[in-house]
Amino acid sequence: MEKYLYIALFAPLVSSLFSALFVATPKKLFTGIVASSLIFIAWVASFILLIDVLSTKEAIHVEMMTWIATGDLYIPFGFIVDQVSVTMMMVVLTVSTVVHVYAIGYMDHDEGFNRFFSYLSAFVFSMMILVMSDNFAGLFIGWEGVGLCSWLLIGFWIKKESATWAANEAFIMNRIADLGMLIGIFLVYWNTGTLQYEEAFAAMPGLDHATLTWMGIFLFIGAMGKSAQFPLHTWLADAMEGPTPVSALIHAATMVTAGVYLVIRSNELYTLIPDVGLFIASLGTFVAMFAASMALVNRDIKRVIAYSTLSQLGYMFAAAGLGAYWVALFHLMAHAFFKALLFLGAGNVMHAMDSELDPFKMGGLGKVMKGSMIMMTLASVALAGLFPLAGFFSKDVILEAAFAEHHFIIYTVLLLTAGLTAFYSFRIIALIFHGEERYKLFGFHPHEAYKFMLVAMSPLLLLAVIAGAFRTTFFSMVEEILSATEYHIHSHVTFWVMTFGTQIFVVLAMVYAYKKYMSRDIKFPDGTSEMENSFKYKLLINQYYIPYFYENFFVKPYRELSRVFWKEIDQKVVDATVDGIAKVVYTTGDKTRVMQSGNLSTMLKWMIAGIVILLSLAVVFGLAARHSGGALVLPGLGV
């Protein structure tokens, strides 16, 4: 069984290195094919591991080699495949395989084709390390690795300045959060003496509450950066500058879920500190509503989908914070499938519309792009949480959990957000695929994507539809290690009212969206309509002016500070000091060169001056030796 673990772990690395060989050469098709095949092999290996874990209910734990063994600190390169990590592995590898195949078609005309696959596979490898590692240090290695690959991939088109800026923003924000995570990891080591999950979590019940609270808070700060919770959320929307396969893989299904994975993995810690858990849940709920509100008016289809991701991440954190870890994991899994599908469909649309992002310039594309329309519509239905698609089984349980734990505010907000989710998802669908064909006014000639790309997307479609059926299997699998609580509402009546009520609410939102945006007289907004100039519209479309705030209150002063440090301190003080030292040496040499005049008489005078100095030293030391009574030893003088 261990060999399957190693195959699943290292096949992406091999794929990345193989593609890296061809970085400098123009596009070679077999690079993409080999990369995708290797990821598929990893998928097969992890599927075998899944079957194994399901049947034996035991985890597979290997220690590959020792990394650090100094004093009391022992950190190995160890990997564990238990129920939680095998779920994550399957999610990551499924979406990765689909994205790799899709990217063969999407990046067809790009000259950085080989480089793209190298980066993409490197990302998969880092993510594998993250989810399969059995200690915090390995987790951190994977954490940083995915951050790096995300930076490489967002800024993939290096000549585009907005892309490189977005890549830097993502990386820097992640870094800020990583500081918190590092402090959390240090606290874990300091208090428990080990970084291995099993041992650290076993030692935790013995620690005092304040320490555990700080640990939980700091680890969550790390999760906040990676999963783009408020206030470190601006990078996710800007990360849409990268190619669409990247958005599908990284910013929908895998990297942003790393934060949720961390909280789920540390569930033994968070069950001990329910106050922090409540804070996490509240923050998640807030983010869910916050992101959904911004998605209502946005005119960039990828951004809307990104906000939707942000919103769903809020749902996952809400679930995890309330203690329903298995629900969070299940929602993570289902979300990955339909969100990736949404992104890939949007990629098809963009490809057809020559990378145009404004849905108001599209319309009626359903006639030309039937396959993409069906996929995106079904994915949106799943996202909205309609029975019997996957979203229903995960989202509804979160609502039930909130209600059952008597957190009614959280419940209400999440319910409202569900409605908003349905609204904005279908707004986009309606604007793109239905209604009048506005694109003809702008001179676009859309066509459907390659057949093989649609075929590649179909597994995701299938999973988005049927994933709900796996809930009971999933539950029985993870109840071994996650606190498995079935959420029972006390009375059956309340339960059915809730469920039906939610469904009706969602359906109403969908219909409203369709009606509003499918009608023939939608006007292209050009900045003059009354809606556009209203305050709430402006607030939402500028993302509550938060990026503006960050730019003016953090970035600008920091840049000014850096400039001061550079020009005033580094150049004027540090450089001047170093140069000054050199100058002192130089001028000393220059001035004392006069001594070497070649004039014997002068040299003799210098010689006698030297003799005088030596004699004075002798007098001084002799007197000192005499009066100190033997503390100095000067055999030359006979004292």
Interface with other proteins (CB under 8 A), residue from 504, 555, 564, 595: 595
> Candidates 157-165, 257-265, 324-332, 619-627 — which segment interacts with other proteins by CB under 8 A?
619-627
CB-based contacts of 131-134 (< 8 A; 24+ apart in sequence): 131/85, 131/88, 131/89, 131/92, 131/261, 132/5, 132/8, 132/9, 132/79, 132/80, 132/81, 132/85, 132/89, 133/78, 133/79, 133/80, 134/61, 134/78, 134/79, 134/80, 134/196, 134/197, 134/198
Quote the least distance from Cβ 622 to other proteins, whole Å: 4
Our measurement of the distance from residue 357's CA atom to the centroid of its chain's CA atoms, rounded to an integer in Å, reads: 23
The reply to whether 616 sits near other proteins by the rule CB under 8 A is yes
Which CB atom, from 511 or from 618, has the smaller least distance to other proteins?
618
Which tokens is 294 given?
């911004």
Interface with other proteins (CB under 8 A), residue from 601, 628, 629, 630: 601
Interface with other proteins (CB under 8 A), residue from 56, 162, 571, 596: 596
Quote the least distance from Cβ 608 to other proteins, whole Å: 5
Which CB atom, from 186 or from 621, has the smaller least distance to other proteins?
621
Sign of CA dihedral 138, 139, 142, 147: negative
Interface with other proteins (CB under 8 A), residue from 466, 573, 604, 632: 604
Quote the least distance from Cβ 637 to other proteins, whole Å: 6
Which residues lie across from 79 on neighbouring strands? 62, 133
Which CB atom, from 496 or from 586, has the smaller least distance to other proteins?
586
Interface with other proteins (CB under 8 A), residue from 26, 206, 598, 630: 598
Quote the least distance from Cβ 584 to other proteins, whole Å: 20
Which residues lie across from 77 on neighbouring strands? 65
Which CB atom, from 469 or from 612, has the smaller least distance to other proteins?
612
* Alpha helix (H) residue ranges in 467-534: 471-478, 492-518
> Candidates 200-208, 407-415, 537-545, 613-621 — which segment interacts with other proteins by CB under 8 A?
613-621
Interface with other proteins (CB under 8 A), residue from 68, 497, 569, 618: 618
Which CB atom, from 578 or from 614, has the smaller least distance to other proteins?
614
The span from the CA of 231 to the CA of 185, in Å, is 22
The span from the CA of 275 to the CA of 321, in Å, is 9
- Nearest partner of 280 among 316, 318, 310, judged by Cα: 318
Interface with other proteins (CB under 8 A), residue from 65, 600, 631, 633: 600
3-state SS, one letter per residue, for 227-251: CCCCCCCHHHHHHHHCCHHHHHHHH
> Candidates 42-50, 191-199, 397-405, 618-626 — which segment interacts with other proteins by CB under 8 A?
618-626
**Contacts to other proteins from residues 620-639, by CB under 8 A:** 622-623, 626, 637-639
Which tokens is 580 given?
């000054």
Quote the least distance from Cβ 595 to other proteins, whole Å: 8
Q: Are 415 and 399 in contact (CB under 8 A)?
A: yes
Burial of 554 (0-12, 13-18, 19+ CB in 10 A): exposed
Sign of CA dihedral 368, 374, 379, 382: positive
- Nearest partner of 201 among 105, 285, 134, 113, judged by Cα: 134
Which CB atom, from 466 or from 612, has the smaller least distance to other proteins?
612
Which residues fall within 8 angstroms of residue 297, CB to CB, at 6 or more apart? 537, 540, 541
Which CB atom, from 202 or from 608, has the smaller least distance to other proteins?
608
Interface with other proteins (CB under 8 A), residue from 526, 593, 628, 633: 593
Which CB atom, from 494 or from 602, has the smaller least distance to other proteins?
602
Quote the least distance from Cβ 583 to other proteins, whole Å: 21
Which CB atom, from 508 or from 609, has the smaller least distance to other proteins?
609
Q: Are 15 and 117 in contact (CB under 8 A)?
A: yes
> Candidates 8-16, 259-267, 473-481, 608-616 — which segment interacts with other proteins by CB under 8 A?
608-616
Give DSSP secondary structure letters for 137-185: HHHHHHHHHHHHHHHHHHT-STT-HHHHHHHHHHHHHHHHHHHHHHHHH
Q: How many residues bind other proteins (CB under 8 A)?
A: 24
> Candidates 421-429, 485-493, 542-550, 593-601 — which segment interacts with other proteins by CB under 8 A?
593-601
x/- map, 305-334, other proteins, by CB under 8 A: ------------------------------
Interface with other proteins (CB under 8 A), residue from 370, 445, 583, 605: 605
Q: Are 501 and 257 in contact (CB under 8 A)?
A: no
The span from the CA of 328 to the CA of 123, in Å, is 23
Max Cα-Cα span within the chain = 118
Quote the least distance from Cβ 635 to other proteins, whole Å: 11
Which CB atom, from 476 or from 602, has the smaller least distance to other proteins?
602
Which CB atom, from 56 or from 599, has the smaller least distance to other proteins?
599
Which CB atom, from 24 or from 600, has the smaller least distance to other proteins?
600
**In the block, which residue shows the tokens 């940083």?**
144
The amino acid at residue 27 is K
**Contacts to other proteins from residues 86-105, by CB under 8 A:** none
Which CB atom, from 210 or from 600, has the smaller least distance to other proteins?
600
**In the block, which residue shows the tokens 């769903």?**
312
Which CB atom, from 443 or from 598, has the smaller least distance to other proteins?
598
Interface with other proteins (CB under 8 A), residue from 441, 561, 611, 632: 611
x/- map, 551-590, other proteins, by CB under 8 A: ----------------------------------------
Quote the least distance from Cβ 603 to other proteins, whole Å: 9
Q: Are 488 and 405 in contact (CB under 8 A)?
A: no
Which CB atom, from 582 or from 623, has the smaller least distance to other proteins?
623
Q: Are 345 and 377 in contact (CB under 8 A)?
A: no
Dihedral class, residue 59 (left if φ above 0, else alpha if ψ from -120 to 50, else beta): beta
Quote the least distance from Cβ 587 to other proteins, whole Å: 16
Burial of 381 (0-12, 13-18, 19+ CB in 10 A): buried
Which residues fall within 8 angstroms of residue 72, CB to CB, at 6 or more apart? 193
- Chain residues in the site for other proteins (CB under 8 A): 593, 595-601, 604-605, 608-609, 611-612, 615-616, 618-619, 622-623, 626, 637-639
